Amino acid sequence: MRLRLPAERPTEPPTGYKIAHPVLSQDGTRAGFTGVSLGGALPYGVLDDASCVYGFRHRPPARRCDCGFHCVHDRAAAEALLCTAEHRAAVLLEVSVLGAYIRFERGFRSARQRVRTATAGPCGCGAAAVALADAGWGRPGWRVLAPVCAGCVRGRAPVSLAGFARLAGHGLRVIAGAAGGAPAPGLTAGGEPGVPELVAEAALLQARLDWFQSQLARLGERGPGGTGQG
């Protein structure tokens, strides 16, 4: 006799939390996320269906497999994962657990999910992020991004928080978090851009302008022939 787990029929999709790395497609037209552990090789969209990472043809989440979207119940438990060195540049995701799911003591493993909010941590220098820039590594066809501030964004192919939200679609909100994990005032993105989003965009444009001016100054010092004027 097989013991069957009790079936749940919630009126609203359960909420879960996880961490992931934001990614941008090679052609710059799509945005999504990639996991930090088991499913890291399979980037996913804001609204997506799970696939078995082992290549089996069963439908996730299979009871005798680890496939499916993983998340935890407690936001603090997900934030704690951001303390490790290898996860410092990851973002915190708030997700809706959709489709069939298996409930565990600490979280869920589901067939489908929707990312509602992504919270970007501070830049490596400690300042609040205004953009996501090339982290220097990626997956085939995808560049992994990391939070950066206006002062550190130069020459790193950045996309603003609002720009990432628009590329990702499905109503995603991207929030810039302060060093302590709280939202940084005036730095939210999602939907139609408002005053906070325009402030972040302006800071990013100013950083790009400063970088171009520095490059022009260097070219002027070299002279028309490409060599120094001395």
Distance CA 223, CA 26 (A): 36
Take residue 78 and report the two structure tokens written for it.
Answer: 């997900």
With pLDDT > 70 as the criterion, what percentage of the chain qualifies?
77
What is the enclosing helix (H) or strand (E) of 168?
Answer: helix 161-168
The two tokens of residue 96 are 């809706």
Q: How many CB atoms lie within 10 A of CB 40?
A: 14
CA angle (157 as vertex; 156, 160 as ends), nearest 5: 110
What SS3 state is found at 223? coil
Which tokens belong to 50? 């799970």
Q: Please say if the pLDDT value at position 218 is more than 90.
A: no
User: 16: which 2 tokens?
Assistant: 């879960």
With beta carbons less than 8 A apart as the criterion, state whether 201 and 162 touch. yes
Whole-model pTM over 0.75: yes
Q: Determine the Cα angle at 81 with ends 76 and 85, to 5°.
A: 145
pLDDT digits (tens, 9 = 90+) for 65-100: 989 999 999 999 999 999 999 999 999 999 999 999
Give the number of other CB atoms < 10 A from CB of residue 80.
13
Least confident stretch, 148-157, 171-180, 193-202: 193-202
State the residue for tokens 């657990």. Answer: 97
3-state secondary structure of 103: strand
Q: What pLDDT was estimated at residue 230?
A: 41
Residues belonging to the chain: 230
Retrieve residue 229's tokens: 């004027």
Cα–Cα distance, 149 to 130 (Å, whole number): 5
The amino acid at residue 146 is: A
Burial 97-107 (b: 16+ CB within 10 A, else e): bbbebeeeeeb
pLDDT digits (tens, 9 = 90+) for 109-121: 999 999 999 999 9
- Mean pLDDT, to the nearest integer, of 178-187? 49
> What are the C-alpha distances in Å from 17 to residues 73, 155, 199, 218?
6, 32, 28, 46
Cβ count within 10 A of residue 173: 18
